[in-house]
Structure 1
């Protein structure tokens, strides 16, 4: 798991962002050193949970094995997955992530409501790398 990018399980699962106290800029992935807004004089960065639900802004198939440093098992066959860009209206940002297992591009439409859920990126005998996935909620556009 990437430290401090998300918290909780089940219905309490949330991605974590940071907000600048000076300019109200919001960031994901989180920022812990300085505000990314070049016009900001700098302020305290405060952690906040992002909205659990958003709408599909765009999507595509990931049909190739990603290069290092992304973790994949080269001994297993590559299985394509859907990659979704999700617009979070309250934060006015788009967050990229994999679709939940079993969800393909054929299951997605722009504007569809999705929610962030915990998932497994990769696991071996010693470690489980956790991540987030986007899963359709059943709500339409």
Structure 2
């Protein structure tokens, strides 16, 4: 079984996965998802960027549950659709990244300010057997015992 990222170039895999941002060479501004067309800092005209790995840990800034099935290109993993939890996570770099909570965790597993860690999990399986993976946020404090 082959595993491959669902979005190529946005995150690394392995035992210590990381999100990959673009870093402006002129001012150092980080942007995720990666964007190489322009600097996201309105005061900068930078046009040269390098990849930069973001911190693997952060704190929950906000969270919700997806009670409805998102539109394409979302690929449902169950039929019927099963709701899942989403968290906006603030990283030490000052970037807020939206992502699904790790499998088995729901909105009862986190609160604003909860620490989380980046993990990579299978998202769906293609017809050819290729497993697509995606980054998710794993609660890392005592509240993680409240799995969904």
- TM-score scaled by length of structure 2: 0.85
| Larger strand fraction of residues | 1
SS at structure 1 position matched to 2:33: coil
The one of 87, 90, 105 aligned to 2:90: 87
Corresponding residue of 1:72: 76
SS at match of 1:14: coil
User: Aligned partners of 1:4, 1:130: CA distance in 2, in Å?
Assistant: 12
Aligned match of 2:125: 123
Q: In structure 2, do the counterparts of structure 1 residues 32 and 139 end up closer, same or farther at CA, with 3 Å as the change threshold?
A: farther
Which blocks of at least 5 consecutive residues in structure 1 are unaligned? none
Contact 2:59–2:89, Cα closer than 8 Å, also in 1: yes
Q: Bigger shift: 34-43 or 46-55? A: 34-43
Shift of residue 33, structure 1, vs aligned partner:
2.7
The whole-number CA distance in structure 2 between the counterparts of 1:68 and 1:132 is 18
Aligned positions, number: 137
Residue 139 (structure 1) shift: 6.9
Residue 138 (structure 1) shift: 2.1
For residues 59-92 of structure 1, the C-alpha deviation after alignment (integer angstroms, 9 at most, x for no partner) is: 001111111122225x711111110000002x11
In structure 2, runs of 5+ residues without a counterpart are 1-5, 144-148
* Alignment correspondent of 1:31: 35
SS in 2 for 1:106: helix
Structure 2 SS opposite 1:7: coil
Could you say if the C-alpha distance between residues 18 and 125 of structure 1 is closer, same or farther in structure 2, counting changes exceeding 3 Å?
Answer: same
Match of 1:134 in 2: 137
8 A Cα contact 1:99 1:135, kept in partner: yes
Deviation track 1:79-119 (CA, whole Å, cap 9, x = no partner) reads: 11110000002x11110000001101111111111000001
Moved over 3 A (4+): none
CA distance in 1, matches of 2:42, 2:22: 16
